Structure 1
Amino acid sequence: MRKILVANDDGIFAEGINILVTHLLKWGKAEITVVAPDRTKNATSHSLTLDSILRLRKVFMPNGYEGYTVVDGSPADC
């Protein structure tokens, strides 16, 4: 089975990331992992968090898929 990692810089609650995941779930031929920042992080895509601890937590979205993880860092941290 294929594995797909979905990430963005618009945050875990962005409409686009959730539309993409919903369509990938309908396709049904891959294990999907979603890791995204806890809020919009536009223009910080390549920055890394080096001086603090990153916090990760599972998030349950309305589409029912449990493969979402939110990070309090940058998109590159994800």
Structure 2
Amino acid sequence: MGLEPGRVAGMLKAALAEEGHIVCHATLGTDTPAICSGFATHPRGREASLAMRLARAGVLTVVPVQPDQKG
């Protein structure tokens, strides 16, 4: 993606602090944006994310997607 150095670390820090998540780059701008699979499996990410906690509690449903790879 050509991200600036430290960009991923900054995104992770913000998502953890806000109980949020990181959106998969391949689903940005689509009708079905998805949580980044790397974030969803990150030890701190999956625990901090409100959406991931709600999914584990059965309040939300996890629907894995295979986004079109656009390069």
TM-score by length of 1: 0.28
TM, length-normalised to structure 2: 0.30
Q: Which has more helix, going by share of residues?
A: 2
Higher relative contact order (CA 8 A, sep 6+): 1
Q: Counting strand residues as a fraction of each chain, which structure ranks higher?
A: 1
